[in-house]
Amino acid sequence: MKTLKYGEWEISVDIEKTREYYIGYIPNVNQANRNFAEYCKMMPTEERNFFELFGITPECCEIEHIGVNRKKEFPCGGYYLICGRYLKYPAEELITVEELAENDFKDDREDPRINVGIFEFDFQCEDYIIKNIPEDIPEGFICVRFWCENMRWLLDEKPNDDMIMYEPPRFWELRKILKEKREAKKQQTLDLEERKQGFRTVFKELGIKYSELNEKEIENYKRNWVTSFSPKDVDKKEIEKLCLSKKKFTTFLWHIFSFEFLSSEVNPKESYNNTNKSDCVIISNVDKIGFSITNAERLTADILDEFIDITVSATDFSWTYCKTHESMCGPYYYENN
């Protein structure tokens, strides 16, 4: 046994047993461990001497990290086990949040950690209230944790995506992000207007009179549609989740058919073509687009196939027709008796 002293720490160490513990230890081959092993190859003498005094093989460690930052810095840490016991150790100084606040959040306590090179060693004492000791360490061993704030990324390979540290964008990057968002929003507005124009062009060609619905009117129409076509013996809330929920991206009015709450006519296109379309509403199920239309007799099912996903209904909800974007679903037609 050998007695080592660092600051107020006095430790009795069995160097040979510690060395034996690390014989045959094979660390994980992930990037973090391999990068740390690269550093161990070029470790300065001061740091290597510390490990040799305790009998520790430094690369035999599972590295914990918070990622690689823009400066190729790789703050990381881990722990080692040492065969030995504490002979003396500094008293644990606890402080409450209230006491810290009274001191303007300045922590004036003595730091029990030991700094060696880029390593900050923190001996874990079983008698301390605040400690971080693994549960399955061998009997007769103590734990020392370390942190390296200034470790560098040394591997030739680039860090994997899960190794990259998240950092807030710098001001010029923020400008770029905001500009891209503005341009994307502008493009979305242009794309929406182009799709609306597609409806207007069809209406004009067919001599159909129309008025455009705003977002609130479209929302109200959808709710009234669900109320009008929901069977009396079914919980309407269940249908609303499938057809109207804003928490999902896959809500369509025609789910009332695909989930078999309603049964479609056998020949939906034919039934739609033969129905009275003097006053009806047409909405897109994939965009916030809706129109109230009149004199739509020439708006056939084949013409509606040009649109991605639409629902057409009589203004009084006496019938409805759904053309879906799914080849296995629809079209659907239903009449309210």
154 burial via Cβ count (<10 Å: 0-12, 13-18, 19+): middle
Banded model confidence at residue 248, pLDDT cuts 50, 70, 90: low
Pick from 103-107, 130-134, 206-210, 267-271: least confident: 103-107
d(CA 87, CA 3) in angstroms, rounded, equals: 9
Measured between alpha carbons, how far is residue 335 from residues 5, 80, 261 in Å? 90, 75, 14
In 70-181 the beta strands, taken as DSSP E runs, fall at 76-88, 114-116, 119-124, 141-148
d(CA 329, CA 225) in angstroms, rounded, equals: 19
Q: Would you call 212 helix, strand, or coil by DSSP?
A: strand
* DSSP secondary structure letter of residue 81: E
- pLDDT greater than 90 at residue 300: yes
Q: Where do we find the tokens 């810290």?
A: 100
Instruction: Supply angle C-alpha 231, 232, 237, rounded to 5.
Output: 75
**Residue whose C-alpha is closest to residue 286's, from 303, 306, 310, 305:** 310
Q: Where is 334: in which H helix or E strand?
A: strand 332-335
Cross-strand bridge partners of residue 84: 13
- pLDDT greater than 90 at residue 254: yes
pLDDT value at position 181?
85
- pLDDT greater than 90 at residue 249: no
Average pLDDT, the chain: 91
Q: Where is 185: in which H helix or E strand?
A: helix 171-206
- pLDDT greater than 90 at residue 319: yes
pLDDT value at position 161?
85
Beta strands 290-294 and 209-212 are: antiparallel
d(CA 79, CA 101) in angstroms, rounded, equals: 32
Cα-flanking dihedrals φ and ψ of residue 145, to 5°?
-100, 155
Banded model confidence at residue 101, pLDDT cuts 50, 70, 90: confident
pTM above 0.85, yes or no: no
**DSSP code string of 307-324:** SSSEEEEETTSSEEEEE-
pLDDT value at position 239?
87
Q: What average pLDDT score do residues 251-259 get?
A: 91
Pick from 10-14, 56-60, 183-187: least confident: 183-187
d(CA 246, CA 276) in angstroms, rounded, equals: 32
pLDDT single digits (tens) 1-56: 899 998 899 999 999 999 999 998 888 999 999 999 999 999 999 999 999 999 99
Q: Write down the number of H helices and E strands in the chain.
A: 10, 13
Pick from 7-21, 166-180, 251-265: least confident: 166-180
CB atoms closer than 10 angstroms to residue 226 = 17
d(CA 329, CA 257) in angstroms, rounded, equals: 9
Provide the sign of the torsion angle of the four alpha carbons 298, 300, 306, 310, taken in this order. positive
Domain boundaries, the chain: 2-163, 196-335
Q: Would you call 118 helix, strand, or coil by DSSP?
A: coil
Q: Where do we find the tokens 């045959």?
A: 24
pLDDT single digits (tens) 102-140: 777 788 888 889 999 999 999 999 999 889 999 889 999
Q: Are 10 and 86 a contacting pair, CB within 8 Å? A: yes
Pick from 27-41, 147-161, 193-207, 245-259: least confident: 245-259
pLDDT value at position 163?
86
Question: How many residues does the structure list for the chain?
Answer: 337
CB atoms closer than 10 angstroms to residue 102 = 10
